[in-house]
């Protein structure tokens, strides 16, 4: 699973991942119509998944 690969090495570049503008260390993972919004604590190398939802819903929250 893509989030598992991101969790293994959160500081590496990953396919279908873009930085979120206006959020410190915030990213989104695209998988078809689904989006995972997450942030990375670079010092602790920890990934916090904030939300997972369909594309048309995830940005409205």
The residue behind tokens 């997972």 is 52
Say what the pLDDT of residue 41 is.
Answer: 92
Say what the pLDDT of residue 59 is.
Answer: 79
| pLDDT tens by residue, 4-61 | 999 898 888 999 999 999 888 999 999 999 999 999 998 888 899 999 999 999 877 6
> Which ranges in the chain belong to alpha helices (H)?
2-8, 55-58
Report the CATH number that the domain containing residue 46 is assigned in CATH: 3.30.2310.20
For residue 42, give both structure tokens.
């670079």
Say what the pLDDT of residue 61 is.
Answer: 65
Residue ranges making up the domain that contains 24: 2-58
Say what the pLDDT of residue 52 is.
Answer: 96
CA distance 41 to 24: 10
Q: What is the pTM of this model?
A: 0.87
Instruction: Report the number of distinct structural domains present in the chain.
Output: 1
12 Cβ contact list (under 8 Å, min separation 6): none
């Amino acid at each position: 699973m893509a989030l598992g690969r991101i969790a293994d090495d959160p500081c590496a570049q990953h396919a279908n991942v873009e930085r979120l503008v206006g959020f410190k260390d915030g990213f989104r993972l695209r998988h078809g119509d689904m989006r995972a919004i997450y942030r990375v604590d670079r010092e602790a190398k920890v990934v916090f998944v904030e939300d997972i939802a369909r594309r048309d819903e995830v940005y409205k929250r």
